[in-house]
Structure 1
Amino acid sequence: MTRSELAIRPILVVGDANADLVLGGDVVPRFGQAEQLLDRADLVLGGSASIVACGTARLDAPTSLIARVGRDAFGDVTLAALRTRCVDVTDVIIDDTMATGLSVILSGRDDRAILTALGTIPTLTGTDVTARLDSWQGPPGVLHVASYFLQPALAADLPAVFSHARRRGWTTSLDTNWDPAEQWRGIADVLPHLNVLMPNGSELRALAATLGEAGDCDEDLARGIARHGPRVVVKDGARGGWSIGDGGHVERAPGLPVDVVDTTGAGDSFDAGYLAALAHGVDDESRRLRWAATCGSLSTTQPGGTAAQASLAELMGAMAS
């Protein structure tokens, strides 16, 4: 192991692990027993946390995942895909009584719809995470939680989990993802214990409304949220991403022009780029955003969330060109 490898901080990702069935082509359902022909169907690794973990591992950051899956075929597919991508799954809990979650993704060129059977996803708890933090033998790293609103037991424990992690020297990060109930509860209690919040534009606006933040533009909303504690790092689709910290200054990075095949998991790969930059000790915010935006762009060039995730060499090559 080289000196530079020793300096890379570990990443502990917490959240959902499931399989994704990605359908492409004419995906708008027509009922009445009408049969539609699709361009493609791919069974791939799903779950925001799992895709993030694969992305950070691909970028040479030592990555572990805490999640729950069932002892079934979809659980086997999920664990095999994670292991293939060098994610440590020692802390993935296998449940003998519940099924692994499954998402069916109807993927068009410019938008997508997601149908999810939650299975084991909501059963993860804060105790699962704090127990791992207490037994951690190495240096503290980056603790990232995904899919907050799909995991109510974990969400309720998260302020205490993040507070505990920060006392132990961990950097804390959260991507709430969308709230299916559109109520956005509990976030105000989490923000003071958070270093990084990673919404997309729609999530940013919904979170700001819940917190009572108002403004003339998204940047104003992010400034309001940042006053609660975290740096707000916003995914901005093909335009790349931007962020605002407690000082109110906006940093931006553009996306790459690519031929988009599938946007599934692009936001998770964006997260992975940013988290990996933190793990590698990148201390310039504009460069961290370039890692994130480049990873998000490259991930859209193949179906599914992980097939086109960049290696560290590919990331550096794309940024250089």
Structure 2
Amino acid sequence: MPHDFDLLVVGDANPDVVLGPVPDPIEFGQREVLVPTGAIVLGGSGAITARGAARLGLRVAFAGRVGRDHAGAMVRDLLTSSGVACFLRLDDDANTPVTTVLTRGSDRAILTASGTLARTEAADVPAELLAASRHVHASSYFLMPRLAVPELFREARRHGATTSLDTNDDPSGRWDIGAVLAETDVVLPNAAEAIKLTGRATVREAAAALAVDGRLVAVKNGADGALSHDGTDIVECPTVTVSTVDAVGAGDSFNAGFITGLLHDMPPRQRLALAVACGALSTRAAGGTAAQPTLAEALGHLPSYRTDQS
């Protein structure tokens, strides 16, 4: 049966206030500090991934929860104007999340007022969407404890969909994904997250630990590019050199590229290279979405890669 959507993203959507580069240290005491750039843009790992995938030509739906406020309306407008079908539940009792991102070189500090994230639940995802999507992706797993991602993934897989997870950071420091891992086909952490999720010492060891039971793992490794592991083969890919403004959302654009390659049945090498290109190219402008590439543009910037055995 044909699907209505190539990709359903379940997760976080909010405005990002991106400021920087900020000085070191940041001063309190009511000091006014001027920075060169500032922008209010579409944020949230899930929303950035959804927008990036739509930019790459996928048919994308997004499900989540926002407040009945101006920030929520902004998020909906930015997603729908990018070609993403929005299924956003409006909450009368909590505000849309807001994130402030303070940039400094390739690093950043992230401050989030979680708002509706803690109230987002499985009922916010229409059941018919799970049956109508080829692939379901969840983001910011630790910020939405009521979302019941394992159950959503299980239902999606029952309908034949594949699933992917980007946990993002865990503010609690517990890093427990045991319940969801069994229902996840693709895991998409960055290097630090992979190591924290597994307790292993190196990125390669962490990727191998996650790539069990036929699971596919792709680890974003910043200036060192990325690697993927399918339990047997490791593919490594260097980054793409671009004129970087900031790296906000680069990992989410990587997710969009990797999922697109997966749904286009690209071979492992090209799939990883596409993801790396999408992540790198997205850093050319402030915020996570302004410089996200089209598929043709990303394919024109593929890096080289290498493969070996684990």
Give the TM interval when normalised to the shorter protein: over 0.9
More strand by share: 2
| Corresponding residue to 2:44 among 47, 64, 72 | 47
Offset, 1:122: 2.0
Q: C-alpha offsets along residues 196-253 of structure 1, whole Å, 9 cap, x if unaligned?
A: 00000100010002xxxx4x53212221221255211100112221111122x21112
Report the counterpart of residue 148 of structure 1 in structure 2: 141
Q: How far apart are residue 158 of structure 1 and its match? A: 2.0
Q: 2:209 aligned to 210, 218, 224, which one?
A: 224
Flag the structure with higher helix content.
1
Give the structure 2 partner of residue 168 of structure 1: 159
Partner in structure 2 of residue 203 of structure 1: 193
Q: Which amino acid aligns with 1:93?
A: R
Task: Deviation per CA, 1:142-193: give whole Å up to 9, x if none.
Answer: 1000000110101xx22222122112100100000010111112x1121111
1:158 is matched with 149
**1:60-75 alignment runs, 5 A limit:** 60-75=57-72
C-alpha contact (below 8 Å) 2:3/2:134 kept by paired residues: no
Mapped partners of 2:117, 2:272: distance in 1: 29
Query: 2:277–2:303: 8 Å Cα contact kept in structure 1?
Result: no
- Distance in structure 2 (CA, Å) of the matches to 1:177 and 1:147: 5
Aligned-residue RMSD, C-alpha: 1.9
Residue type of the partner of 2:134? G
Unaligned runs of 5+ in 2: 305-310
Equivalent-residue separation in structure 1 for 2:77 and 2:216 (angstroms):
34
Structure 1 runs of 4+ with >6 Å offset: 6-9
Give 1:25 deviation, angstroms: 2.4
Q: Secondary structure of 2:95's partner?
A: coil
Question: Which residue number in structure 1 is paired with residue 231 of structure 2?
Answer: 246
- Of all paired residues, the percent bearing the same amino acid is 42
- Per the normalisation by structure 1, the TM-score is 0.89
Q: Which amino acid aligns with 2:227?
A: W
Corresponding letter in the other structure for 1:254: P
- Structure 1 96/131 Cα, relative in aligned 2: closer, same or farther at 3 Å? same
Equivalent position to 1:77, from 74, 77, 85: 74
CA contact 2:215–2:230 (8 Å) conserved in 1: yes
What does residue 271 of structure 1 align with? 255
Q: Give the partner amino acid of 2:77.
A: A
Within 5 Å, which residues of 2 pair with 1:24-39?
A: 24-27=20-23, 28-39=25-36
* Separation in structure 1 between the aligned mates of residue 202 and residue 110 of structure 2, nearest angstrom: 28
Match of 1:291 among 238, 259, 274: 274
State whether residues 15 and 99 of structure 2, in contact with CA within 8 Å, keep that contact through their aligned partners in structure 1. yes
Contact 1:130 1:164 in 2 (8 A): no
With normalisation by structure 2, the TM-score equals 0.92
- Secondary structure, counterpart of 1:12 in structure 2: strand
**Matched residue count:** 302
Q: Distance in 2 between matches of 1:104 and 1:115?
A: 5
C-alpha distance in 2 between matches for 1:69 and 1:8: 24
Could you tell me which amino acid in structure 1 is paired with residue 272 of structure 2?
L
Take 1:77 and 1:217, find their aligned partners in 2: how far apart are those partners? 40
